Structure 1
Amino acid sequence: MDVLLHLFVGLHIIGIAALLGGVLTQLPPLAKAGQPTRMVPAMLWGALTMLVTGIILVGITQAQHVHLSPFKIGLKVAILVVVLGLVYVKRDDETVDRSLVTAVGALTAANIFIAVLWT
């Protein structure tokens, strides 16, 4: 069961990397001058990967009789659903406001810090 848990943790981290990588490619230091800001496909697939693997991780952890904070899990899912909604709704737009992409990145970072720091 531990191998399965570690496999899905790795996939969850890959989803985080895809989402944050997509955000970073759209922000000023890495974006080309004059390039329109968009919600790139990596952001959508990363968010979906995070959601699916996160649900599986909760199930595996519950099956091992480990207590999880329902409030923490609920908060993380709520933040991820907001991120997923923003990315999904704006995925076909040619340009989006840069602050929207920044908000997606900030919410994703908040989700990471909730996971790591909330014990």
Structure 2
Amino acid sequence: MDVLINVFVALHIIGIAALLGGFLTQMKAMGAGTARFTPGMLHGALTMLVTGVALVGLNQADDQPVNNLKIGIKLAVLVVILALVYVKRDEETVDKGVFGAVGGLTLANVFIATLWT
């Protein structure tokens, strides 16, 4: 079971990398007002959602403790990220505030995951 959990952790990190990488590569474009959400950002967020749900289920099946409050907050943040990226995915340019919010919420999710013990 540990190997399966670690595979899903790796996939979860790949999803984070796709979402955060898409944001970071467009920081200059965000400053110019020409940033847009790429398909990789949407796919990264969806990967985070699917693997995160799988990780909670696998950890519970393995009788490992799961902090439901932490998972609930991370899920709520991810749902907001997904909503923003999904709704604005076809627009040529995205407002700086919306684009920055997605980056900030992604970083918040990373810090919640790593610092909340």
TM-score, structure 1 length as denominator?
0.93
Q: Which runs of 5+ in 2 are unaligned?
A: none
Q: Deviating runs (4+, > 2 A) in structure 1?
A: 31-35
Aligned counterpart, 1:6: 6
* Alignment root-mean-square deviation, CA: 1.6
Judged with a 3 Å threshold, the aligned counterparts in structure 2 of structure 1 residues 65 and 92 are, in CA distance, closer, same or farther, namely same
CA distance in 2, matches of 1:92, 1:100: 14
Aligned counterpart, 2:22: 22
- Cα offset for 1:21? 0.7
Aligned counterpart, 1:65: 63
Paired amino acid for 1:26: Q
CA distance in 2, matches of 1:71, 1:10: 23
- Cα offset for 1:117? 0.7
| Count of paired positions | 117
- Cα offset for 1:32? 9.5
> Counterparts of 1:28-39 in structure 2 under 5 Å?
28=28, 31=29, 36-39=34-37
**Structure with the higher helix share, 1 or 2:** 2
Q: Is the 8 A contact 1:26 1:101 kept in 2?
A: no
| 1:50-78 deviation digits (Å, cap 9, x = unpaired) | 00000000001001111211111100000
Aligned counterpart, 2:74: 76
CA distance in 1, matches of 2:78, 2:30: 28
Task: Calculate percent identity across the aligned residue pairs.
Answer: 62
CA distance in 2, matches of 1:32, 1:117: 28
> Counterparts of 1:28-107 in structure 2 under 5 Å?
28=28, 31=29, 36-107=34-105
TM-score, structure 2 length as denominator?
0.94
- Cα offset for 1:115? 0.6
